[in-house]
Structures are given as C-alpha cells and as structure tokens.
Structure 1
Amino acid sequence: MVRCIGPTMCRMNSSNISHSPALGRVLATVSVGFVVTQLDVTIVNIALPGIGADLRANVAGLQWVVDAYTLAFAVLMLSAGALGDRFGARRLYAAGIVLFALASLACGLALDAAMLVAARALQGVGAAAMLPNSLALLNQSYGHDPRLRARAVGLWTAAGAISIAAGPVAGGLLIAAFGWRSIFLVNLPICAAGFLATLLWIPQPESAPRQGAQPGPGPAAAAPADASPRGIDLTGQCLAVVALTAFVAAVIEWRPLGLGHPFVAGGFLLALIGASAFIAVESRIAAPMLPLSLFRKRSFSVAVLFGICVNLTYYGMVFVLSLYLQRVRGYTPLQAGLAFLPLTGGFLLSNVASGWVVGRFGVRVPMIAGAITAGLGYGLLHCVDAATPLIGLLLPFLLIPSGMGLAVPAMTTAVLASTDAKRAGTASAVLNTARQAGGAVGVAVFGALASGAAAAQIVPGMQAATAMSVAFLMLGGVLSCFVQPQPQPSDSAVRVAGRGRIGESR
C-alpha cells in the first residue's frame, strides 16, 4: 500500500519502501543549513587575533564574539523547534536561512567589536531557527523507514560534523587570502543556494496532515494527544536565557576574578534561581517550550546527556588546541588550521559508516563504541607536550572524530526514535540546545585551564582538559548502556533497504 504525503514523496509499507531522488534533494537542502550553522561555531576561532587587531577588541570582547553566537543559538532553539512544530518546519527553516545571511553580511561589515557581537548574536538566532527544523524536515521525509532514516541522519550529521572540523582549515585559508571578514561573507552564497533549494525541493506544509485531521495508517501516523503544536512560551524562554547566560558568564570569569567575586557568585546564584524557576514554570503551564514529559523516556534522556558530554569535550578541546598550536608551537592561523585537517577525514568516514551500523545493530552499539574510541583519542592527547612532534597528533586527531562520528548519528537517531513525528522539532531542539550549552561550558572551563601566553601554562592546562574529556566520554559510554536499541523493521524491509541508497531511484 502507498500513502502519499506530498507531491513527490509517498509513504509505503515495509515491503515496498520508496527511494526517490526527491528524498536525496531534501537531504541535500536541509544539510545546507546544518553546514553553515556548524561552520560558524569553529571558523571564528582562527580569526580572533585579526579581529582583535582590526577592531581594537580586548580579550573579553573576543570572548563575546564567540559566545554571543553560541548562547543565542542554544537558548532559542527550544522556541524555534516549538514554532516549527506549530507553523511548519519548512517556513521556519527558510526564515532562518534568510536571517543568517543578513547577519553574516553585518558581521562582515562590522565597524567595531560591539557591532560584531550584536551581529553574531543575530547569527545565532538564525541558526536556532534552522537547525532543529532541518532535522524535523529530515524526520518527516525519512521517518517511514528506520534504516533509511538512520542513513539519512548519518549523512546529515556528517555534513555538520565535517563543517565543524573544517572550520579552522577553511578559516585559515580564507584569512590568508582575503582577511578575516571573508569567513562571514562566505556564508552568503551558501545561504542563497539553501534558500532557493528550500523553495524548490521541500514539499509545501499543506502536504502534511493538518492539526485535528484523522491520521492515516503507517508507522508514523499515530501521535499522542499531548503532541499538539505549541507557540512561544515567553516566560520559559526568558528564564532559559537568564539561566544559561548567567551560568556561562560566571564560568568564564571564575578563574580571572575568583569564585568569591560578586559577579561570579552572583552569576551562579542567578543561574540556579533561573533554572529552578524554569523547571517550575515548565512543569505547570499547559503549553511549555520544554515538555518535561520527554525526559520520562530513558533513551531520550540518555541521548541528551550523551550529547552534552560530546560537545563539552570537543568544543573545549578545539579551543585549547588552537592555543597550543599557535602559542606553544608558533603556527600561523593557516598552519594551525591545516593541522586540524585529519579531523575532517575522520568525521567523514565514521559519520557515513554510522548510518549502516545503526541500521544493523541499533543505536546502543555505535554510541558505546564511539565513546570508547573518542576517549582513547583524548587519552593519547594527554601525553602531548611542547616537544611532541606534529606526527604525534595524527592518531588522536583521527580517533576523536572517528568516535564522535560513529556515536553522534546514533545519538540523534535515538532521540528521533523516542519521539513522534509531530514533536520532532521540539525534541531535536532540546538535544541541540543541550549540546550547544555543553559546548559553551566546555570552552569556558577548558579555556580557563589553559589560559596564559606561556607554554608552561597552556600545556598543563591542555593535559588537565584531556583528562576531563576522557572522564566525560567514559561517562557517556556507561550511560549509553541504558539506551533502548532501536526497533528493527521487518525482514522484507531490511532486504529492500539493503538494496537501496539515499536519493536513488529504483
């Protein structure tokens, strides 16, 4: 039986799964948004010295150039996912692309540090609109087949992971050729292509069942009664902004000011009050931005905690390694960027392989194996010092992305498999909010450990950061043991899925 859900895509039963070129075009389109949002997480790190010299920004100003984007990205994804559930993921995704492009133009034309920080925050708003809704669009298109969805998530995640790893490399090349402003202006043609593809290749929202309509048959047709779309929860959104911003600011200033400083102590207190009030509000209102009922599902809760561990360690270590390469080894931004090149290859191979592994073994095995592999890479980095030859970084630079690339698509699939399609935007927003928040904390904590201009301060801080990374990844591996393996499709579906590939027509 075939049930059409759009002008170019149909939902089929397990014995006749569709593999149309339209699905490949959807995957390519939503991957564009993921690429630009993730690229701007890391590409700016290589450009900070040039930005500081050109705009006369001090260290605190440069920190906010990084954090303004990450914080806005993190705290607004929950509302963006909820709005996508209510008004359509396609509409929110397209609006996010436009806003991100305009903000990137403002970054490239910034006249001072304050303007750049404001434009970076606006970039974060656009990124928040794009990321959860890109995953929701992916789930809507591929949700009829768990194996096919696992492959699609693997490729989607590979696009974002490679862009994160390629950020320092691309930044170094662009800065060497055109200056630091080019790292923002390069987003304009990418966003233009993504917006055009969204208009042409993403099905109109009218093709999906409307609210209140009787759902048809199929594996994703049923939805719980509490899965109705939600609008913006203004109280919850404001409390989330206050809690996360206060916490990250306090962590950043902890070491230079001391724990007893009023700003630091007050920041932690405000974060605690804000988080407590947020949970209280979300548990009582009828339409929360963060449905706490999601966390009653063990697989969902474990996957979110796992994502925090992964992003905290990786974002923090990339920041510390940038200091190590440029201040300890004396590399130029271009040389430092090229030193990160092995990360890209590791992400590419493991992300693509993860889709196959998830389809065959479920989500638990790749999450555990990925955590162990990445943890081993961080453990090898613990032995690195100022005299370590560059070749000594090669193996850990391959193991870390290989483990992450294997685990992250499985983690994402676990989240999608534990929620119904109507709440995919909200669920993915919760996951990515947690991951971005973890990354912001990782940069703050690990950066504090390795602060200072001398190698004598940076190397011990890097070694402490690697030890913490191993501990977090081992925690993630243990937590993964409690994830429920994804249910497998029927044997006939397995045979059909095994013969097809994403985007192929047969």
Structure 2
Amino acid sequence: MTRAAPPGEAASDFTQPGSATATLLAALLGFFVVTLDAVIVNVALPAVRADLGGGIAGLQWVVDAYTLAFAAFLLSAGSLADRIGAKRAFGWGVGGFVAASAACGLAPSLAMLVGFRLVQGTAAAVVMPSSMALIGQAFPDPVKRGRAVAWWAMGGAVASSAGPVLGGLLTLASWRWIFLVNVPVGAAALVLLVRVGRSARHRAPFDWAGQATGAVAMAALVFGAIDAHRAGPALVVSGIAGVAFAVVQARAKHPMVPPALMRTRAVVVAVVIGFAFMVGYYGMPFVVSLLLQHHGLSALDTGVVFLPMMLTGLVLTPLVPRLVECAGARRVVVSGLLVMTIGLAAVAETAGSAPVWATAALMVLVGLGGPTVIPPVIAVLLAAVPGKQAGIASGVLNTSRQLGGALAVAVFGALLSAGIASGTRVSLLLAAAVAVLAALTAYKGLSRKDRR
C-alpha cells in the first residue's frame, strides 16, 4: 500500500514489490560510478600530462575541477532531490554524468578536459544526495536503512578498490579509457531506475542567491589554495561570498540550507567528520601516486600498491552495520579515525624510503577508515533529520566531504612544489593531525547510546 504523502509532497510508492531492491541497486551503481571517477584518475595523471601537457597545477585542476564542482553544487542538488523527487534527480544526474564522461574521454586539450570535468562533477553532485535520499525513502526502518546504507557504500568501496588498478590497466591502452569506462556502468543504473518507485516531492522555490554565493565561496577558496600568487585576493573573495551565503540563508524564505538544520548536533558533527576524513582519504592517493611514479613505478604498479588498502574497505563494509549495532556509532567511528591517523603518520615517515610492500601495508590502516567512519556517520545523520530534508542533509554532508578532498589536493599540490618527497611527508602529517581532530569531534559529538 502506498503511504500517504505529507502536506506539500507528492505521494511515493516505494512499497511496491521489487522497488526497494531496484532502488538500492541503482543507488549503489550511481555511487560506484561517481566514486570510481574520483579514484581512477590519480594513477593516470602522469599519462595525461605526457599527452596534453601541463605541470603540477594542471594536474591539480584535472582532479579538483571534478571535486570542486561536486562540492559547489551538492547543496543545490540536495534541494533539487527534495523538490523534484529523488528518482527524477538521480536520472538527470546519471544521464549527465555519462555524457560528460564520454566528452572527457574525447577531450583534445587539457583546458577542455578540465571543462568537461567541471560538468562531470556537477552531474555527480546530483547523483550523490539523490541516491542517498532514495535509500532513505525506500528503507524507513532505521536498522534496515543502516544495512542498506552499508550496501550502498559497497558501491564506493568496490570503486575505490578497483579504481587504482583499473586505472593502471586502462592507462596501458590510453588514459582516455578511465573516463569512457563510466558509460556502460551509468547506463546500467538508468535501466534499473525504471523499476524504482515514484519518490516524494517537496515543492519550494529554488535558492539561486544561496547557490551563487556558496559556489563562489568554495571556488575562490580552492583557487586560492592552488594558485599561491593570487591567493590573497581569492581568499578575500571567498570570505566575502561566505558571509553573503550565511546572510542569504538566514533571511531567505526557502533557504538552500535551512538554518535549523545546521543547529542539529548530528548534522554539525557529520559535516566536521566528513571534511576531515576526506583530507586524508582523498589527499593521500594524490601525493603518494605522484611520489611512487616519480620513483619509477608504472601506473599499473602504482595501482597495485593501493589495492590492499582499497580491498580492506571492500571486505569490511558489509560487516560494519552489525559492529555499530553492537558497539555503537561513536566507538566505531572514533576507532576508525584513530587507526587512520596512525596509518597516515606511518606512511608520511616511510613513503619513498621504505620498500613498496611496506608502504602498501601501512596504507591498509588508512583503508580501515573508509568503512568504519562514513557509513555509520551517514546512518546517524539520516536518522536525525526529517525525511523531507534527507536530500539537503545528504548534500550538506557530501559538500563537506568533497570540499575537504578538493582543499587537500590544492594544499598538498602546493606543498609538492617544494619537493615531492618533503611535500608528501608534510602533507600526510597534516592529514594525520586533521584526522585526530575529527576523532575528538566524534568522541564529543556522537551519542554513546547510538546504535544506528
């Protein structure tokens, strides 16, 4: 039986037979493809530079164009998922992502590649919160939703595991295949979407002022971190736009980020943890990939070095929901962040001098953070907000994650300009310090009794 829609919302029919399974599979594939495109690129960066030219700054933009657009439009994408329905938003996002991936694979210049990466990131921004909102609507029971989130996270875990090795393999033929591989996966998600039930719509005007000021604030911040010569003016613009964003959200009738949402303890804690987690989890592969290939490893060999770390996440992801049910979210998340801190510090002190197998083994400690941090945090977040705000809450969390990753690449890339070995060490020690702060935030902010 279809549930009655709340006032202002259209009815949804997620209770129809097979709808929940189709929803989970479609959302999983969507998360897979947007995650794959983030991790598959790192090992191919030297090949991209050899073909299209550009220095470290150019490679930073190949990575950060995607991540920045992802972060800048996630908030609007979360609102879009709430307003037009998660199913429709998901379809638009996956379709746009497939088209942009094909364009990236055919890009004739570095500038055009960066431009298509911006489009790709924008489409990915629509996919992420809408996929999470679909799961929240399809699995209203908190325990079942927690398990569904874990399976959804499997899409990211598999992409993270396969990405570096797959990127190395595809680069043997051409770096262009790292983008073209997204096309069939995205097409499969769209086929599954046909079987997904209608999702609820919460009608309200679009917050154009909030989108504009938020996007400018984040773009200027990342630009300033990458381009040291123009960092001052960029950071001033970022600060002004950030203040304008806060004012707009406080005064808007239909704000993109409702102020009441940001007064929710679980949302604030999730935002801090998501940002800090991605500094290490996204920043480390960027610097270590360049370091290993600087020391003579091929793209494929570099991908293999990351394989144990990524497989750790793949194996542990299905087990984490049961662990959270037994031990609570706080213990699991804090433990994951502390183990991640140890791994980042150990890799910082040994990468480039230790045997490759030792680097691979130490990065496993960082890999433990993937399944033990983000899935429990997502489950806690979804349990703490009303269903009609699931999309925007997901967008806020993922904006913090993508912004953390974008800033990590921007800052770490600048540190590499002083020397790849010393830059890698300082970058990873900085990531370790941020992870410690995240562990403290999780310890203070998450409830001891939380089992979801």
Give the alignment of 1:45-56 within 5 angstroms. Answer: 45-56=42-53
Judging changes above 3 Å, is the alpha-carbon distance between structure 1 residues 466 and 114 closer, same or farther for their aligned structure 2 residues? closer
Secondary structure at the residue paired with 1:173?
helix
- Tell me which moved more, 397-406 or 270-279: 397-406
* C-alpha displacement of 1:387: 2.8
Equivalent AA in structure 1 for residue 215 of structure 2: V
TM, length-normalised to structure 2? 0.93
Hey, what does 1:462 align to over in structure 2? 424
Equivalent AA in structure 1 for residue 446 of structure 2: V
Alignment of 1:187 with 2:153, yes or no, is no
Secondary structure at the residue paired with 1:292?
coil
Distance 1:307 1:483 in 2: 13
Judging changes above 3 Å, is the alpha-carbon distance between structure 1 residues 186 and 474 closer, same or farther for their aligned structure 2 residues? same
Distance 1:360 1:129 in 2: 34
Hey, what does 2:341 align to over in structure 1? 375
Secondary structure at the residue paired with 1:383?
helix
Distance 2:204 2:303 in 1: 42
Hey, what does 2:8 align to over in structure 1? none
Q: Work out which of the residue numbers 345, 349, 360 in structure 1 matches 2:311.
A: 345
Q: Work out which of the residue numbers 429, 433, 446 in structure 1 matches 2:395.
A: 429
Alignment of 1:418 with 2:384, yes or no, is yes
In 1, are the aligned partners of 2:305 and 2:357 still within 8 Å (CA)?
no
- Tell me which moved more, 93-102 or 106-115: 106-115
Distance 2:304 2:384 in 1: 39
In 2, are the aligned partners of 1:23 and 1:141 still within 8 Å (CA)?
yes
In 1, are the aligned partners of 2:57 and 2:226 still within 8 Å (CA)?
no
* C-alpha displacement of 1:359: 2.6
RMSD: 2.1
Give the alignment of 1:86-485 within 5 angstroms. Answer: 86-143=83-140, 145-176=141-172, 178-200=173-195, 202-205=196-199, 208=200, 229-254=203-228, 257=229, 263-327=230-294, 329-451=295-417, 457-481=419-443, 482-485=445-448
In 2, are the aligned partners of 1:155 and 1:355 still within 8 Å (CA)?
no
- Tell me which moved more, 94-103 or 107-116: 107-116
Computing the radius of gyration over CA atoms, which structure comes out larger, 1 or 2?
1
In 2, are the aligned partners of 1:310 and 1:473 still within 8 Å (CA)?
yes
Equivalent AA in structure 1 for residue 57 of structure 2: A
Q: Work out which of the residue numbers 57, 62, 75 in structure 2 matches 1:65.
A: 62
Distance 1:368 1:183 in 2: 34
In 2, are the aligned partners of 1:82 and 1:231 still within 8 Å (CA)?
no
Equivalent AA in structure 2 for residue 93 of structure 1: F
Distance 1:280 1:107 in 2: 37
- Tell me which moved more, 63-72 or 78-87: 63-72
Judging changes above 3 Å, is the alpha-carbon distance between structure 1 residues 488 and 108 closer, same or farther for their aligned structure 2 residues? closer
5+ residue gaps, structure 2, are 5-10
Judging changes above 3 Å, is the alpha-carbon distance between structure 1 residues 116 and 394 closer, same or farther for their aligned structure 2 residues? closer
Secondary structure at the residue paired with 1:288?
coil
- Tell me which moved more, 276-285 or 165-174: 165-174
Higher helix share: 2
Judging changes above 3 Å, is the alpha-carbon distance between structure 1 residues 487 and 53 closer, same or farther for their aligned structure 2 residues? closer
Judging changes above 3 Å, is the alpha-carbon distance between structure 1 residues 401 and 53 closer, same or farther for their aligned structure 2 residues? same
Judging changes above 3 Å, is the alpha-carbon distance between structure 1 residues 238 and 252 closer, same or farther for their aligned structure 2 residues? same
Judging changes above 3 Å, is the alpha-carbon distance between structure 1 residues 9 and 361 closer, same or farther for their aligned structure 2 residues? farther
Judging changes above 3 Å, is the alpha-carbon distance between structure 1 residues 106 and 235 closer, same or farther for their aligned structure 2 residues? same
Distance 1:486 1:173 in 2: 46
Deviations 1:220-247 (A, max 9, x none): xxxxxxxx54342111111111111111
Q: Work out which of the residue numbers 27, 31, 39 in structure 2 matches 1:30.
A: 27
Deviations 1:182-224 (A, max 9, x none): 1111111111111011012x1023xx4x7xxxxxxxxxxxxxx
* C-alpha displacement of 1:65: 1.9
Secondary structure at the residue paired with 1:121?
helix
Judging changes above 3 Å, is the alpha-carbon distance between structure 1 residues 102 and 9 closer, same or farther for their aligned structure 2 residues? same
Judging changes above 3 Å, is the alpha-carbon distance between structure 1 residues 134 and 267 closer, same or farther for their aligned structure 2 residues? same
Secondary structure at the residue paired with 1:310?
helix
In 1, are the aligned partners of 2:280 and 2:344 still within 8 Å (CA)?
no
Equivalent AA in structure 2 for residue 34 of structure 1: F
Equivalent AA in structure 2 for residue 116 of structure 1: L
Equivalent AA in structure 1 for residue 85 of structure 2: G
* C-alpha displacement of 1:450: 2.5
Judging changes above 3 Å, is the alpha-carbon distance between structure 1 residues 278 and 47 closer, same or farther for their aligned structure 2 residues? same
Distance 1:295 1:66 in 2: 29
* C-alpha displacement of 1:280: 0.9
Distance 1:29 1:72 in 2: 23
Equivalent AA in structure 2 for residue 389 of structure 1: P
Secondary structure at the residue paired with 1:148?
helix
* C-alpha displacement of 1:488: 5.6
Distance 2:2 2:46 in 1: 57
Distance 1:466 1:404 in 2: 17
Distance 1:175 1:460 in 2: 28
Equivalent AA in structure 1 for residue 317 of structure 2: N
Identical counterparts, % of pairs: 38
Distance 1:424 1:74 in 2: 17
